[in-house]
Structure 1
Amino acid sequence: MLSTPDLQVKVTTTWWSTTLTCSTTCTLTGNPTYIWYRNSKIVQEDTSPSYSVYFKTEDSFYCAVKGINSPAVSVRAQSYFHLTYTHQRICTLKGSSVNISCSYTYPRGHTVSETKWYTKGKLDEAPQILSPGYGGRVEYLGNMQSDFTLTTDLREEDSAEYKFRFRTDQTNWEPTIPGTTLTVIGLQVKVTPATVTEGQKVTLTCSTTCTLTDNPNPTYIWYKNGHVTTQSNSLFLNPVSSEDTGRYSCAVEGHEDLPSNEETLTVRCEYV
């Protein structure tokens, strides 16, 4: 005899989250997909019967599987330990500055006793606390030091995962979620082909190894022997002549003070 399962939503609340679990009165066969609704809108479809939620209002939730809906439950917002980073990844230019920030909440009745930003480097390296005197390049901003600027002269060795920790007078809770991964890069000029003869065509491309966070579609300024030549994403010389021989570099518009290294283009004479 087949039985039709009833679905119920079980609510588990802790200091750091609320977890909703879709429970059944009998074991479901196969690998069912659980659909979660929040205020009648689908928010998750997954084989896991659980859904973790952070929110600031009173919302209605119910789950469904194989066309069977659970009764809706109303869950009132609590105050949790919660941390959210503004950016999971940041890609920026060597020599520039960057702002890394987060927001956090904690239970009512607690008082924040400690806030720290720190870096996580290689596995065998101890975390390094970013004090305001970190190389003379850190300036803390915002409320409770939840954001900071790693000021001017970013270096490639500044590339790391940056994490935030806060503690209260009642607990040493520490988030385990990934922080903000910072990648510091320099611009590179690529010449194609590397060796060229008069009358041929050559393309100079300004490239980065990751997409710049603050300017994902940059316009590049091109320089020849230190002087501005044009403004374009790539530099096409067709046909190329001996007069095009020189040292070429590029920069992102708005960051002209952070040019790439120079690449020398040598044009060989064509002999008949």
Structure 2
Amino acid sequence: MVLRTAGGRLSLVVFLWSVAVVLGQNGWSVTYTKKSICTLKGSTVDLSCSYTYPSWHKVTTTFWFTKKYAVENYVNLRNDPDYKGRVMYHSDKMNGHTLTITDLRESDSATYKFRFITDQTGGKHTGDPGVTLSVTDLQVKVTTTWWSTTLTCSTTCTLTGNPAYTWYRNSKIVQGASSPSYSVYFQTEDSFYCAVKGINSPAVSVEGHSYFHVTYTHQRICTLNGSSVDISCSYTYPSGHTVSETIWYTKGKLNEAPQILSPGYGGRVVYLGNMQSDSILRITDLREEDSAEYKFRFRTDQTTWEPTFPGTTLTVTGLQVKVTPATVTEGQKVTLTCSTTCTLSDNPNATYIWYKNGHVTNQSISLFLNPVSSEDAGRYSCAVEGHEDLPSDEETLTVTCEDV
């Protein structure tokens, strides 16, 4: 009756309303919490979404991706070597899903999409357009007028969440929880840098490079126990000075005095570089107790200059085999993981060599035994590919028989 009395125009309205109800009840969708995120290199980010699907489907697979090589050839971020060891998935009972990426790099800048698959034929859906992630670093830009100098903590995109900026002068806070700009109304040879959530920019001198300045190549280095490392920097000084001595040292802990690392120190230290504008401290046969902050100072024919801003923080890590679960029963799924206390700087996507009773058995981040049997019992160790001479300690895997 309604269709007959309403005429063609009302019939069309009723039809469209019906379609909207069907789609609302049984449709596919992915809703992202944020469409774009800008965050800092070295930090951690969470990308989250919620999704819907027809009620008679059951979701069997969920994953995030940035790369698609062909039809149905999506690269799950967990399997992408560019993200090895840096990706975690979290899901909840309300069809929510979160991707966590740690130790962010500028190369992680991309569009991230969520995809899920159900148990029904054709039950596949990708959430478009995804989340655009931009990864940037901090840089201090210097603007000078005749009455003042303004320092600006600069990024290539606007950081998400309006974070607080902290300004340091010679490693001491001069302006905290404030704006990305800081003004100086006097001439000084002091160095300044900014920080956001514990991540620092390189330090700059207000007077520029005509004055004393040191720039470290890396803020942080993580490397293996027993390996070698190069800690490097470049430096400038006023014209007319000649460098007469260069010194590397570790920052003293608490009341301890700084430890000078002269060439030949302990037979493990070598100085490299041209001694006029750059220097490299090479330490061999590294030990975990070598973990420290390393700094550089130099002496000219006219003065000795020591920078007060942060140097390079070195972390020396060993390898450890972790067995999950701790108690292993025959028939279970067991995972052996080769872990470090930090991400290796020179090999963040390392491949690990696995040994059983001293013999090579596999190459992967983790070793999966599913199901485990009594034949899998033995002594397991791991090593980073290319550093097979620096294996972990052995971990004994004991497999108990399942109770009948």
Short-chain TM bin = 0.7 to 0.9
Residue pairs, 1:111-150, within 5 angstroms: 111-144=242-275, 146-150=279-283
Give secondary structure in 1 for the equivalent of 2:266: helix
1:180 aligns with 2:312: yes
> C-alpha root-mean-square deviation of aligned residues, in Å?
2.9
> In structure 1, what is the Cα distance between the partners aligned to 2:219 and 2:144?
32
Q: Is the 8 A contact 2:247 2:297 kept in 1?
A: yes
Give the drift of 1:199.
0.9
Alignment CA distance shift 1:169-1:35 (3 Å): closer
Structure 1, residues 159-195: CA drift from partner, whole Å, max 9, x if none? Answer: 1111100122223332111111111110111100111
Residue pairs, 1:257-272, within 5 angstroms: 257-272=389-404
1:94 aligns with 2:225: yes
Residue pairs, 1:182-201, within 5 angstroms: 182-201=314-333
Opposite residue 145 of structure 2, the aligned amino acid is K
> In structure 1, what is the Cα distance between the partners aligned to 2:218 and 2:153?
28
Q: Which moved more, 1:244-253 or 1:126-135?
A: 126-135
Structure with greater proportional helix content: 2
Alignment CA distance shift 1:35-1:223 (3 Å): closer
Decide which of 298, 301, 309 is 1:169's aligned counterpart: 301
> In structure 1, what is the Cα distance between the partners aligned to 2:215 and 2:144?
26
1:256 aligns with 2:358: no
Structure 1, residues 206-235: CA drift from partner, whole Å, max 9, x if none? Answer: 111101110111111100000000001100
Give the drift of 1:242.
0.2
Alignment CA distance shift 1:170-1:258 (3 Å): same
> In structure 1, what is the Cα distance between the partners aligned to 2:240 and 2:386?
47
Give secondary structure in 1 for the equivalent of 2:227: coil
Decide which of 347, 354, 364 is 1:232's aligned counterpart: 364
In the superposition, the TM-score normalised over structure 1's length comes to 0.74
Q: Is the 8 A contact 1:119 1:161 kept in 2?
A: yes
Opposite residue 187 of structure 1, the aligned amino acid is L
> In structure 2, what is the Cα distance between the partners aligned to 1:35 and 1:111?
33
**Identity rate of aligned residues, in percent?**
79
Give the drift of 1:20.
2.0
In the superposition, the TM-score normalised over structure 2's length comes to 0.50
Aligned to 1:243: 375
Aligned to 2:213: 82
Alignment CA distance shift 1:252-1:11 (3 Å): farther
> In structure 2, what is the Cα distance between the partners aligned to 1:216 and 1:269?
38
Alignment CA distance shift 1:238-1:20 (3 Å): same
Give secondary structure in 1 for the equivalent of 2:305: coil
Decide which of 107, 110, 120 is 2:238's aligned counterpart: 107
Query: Unaligned 5+ residue runs, structure 2?
Result: 1-142, 159-164, 166-177, 186-206
How many residues are treated as equivalent by the alignment?
Answer: 220
**Structure 1 runs of 4+ with >6 Å offset:** none
1:20 aligns with 2:149: yes
Give secondary structure in 2 for the equivalent of 1:157: helix
Structure 1, residues 134-170: CA drift from partner, whole Å, max 9, x if none? Answer: 100111111117112102x211111111110012222
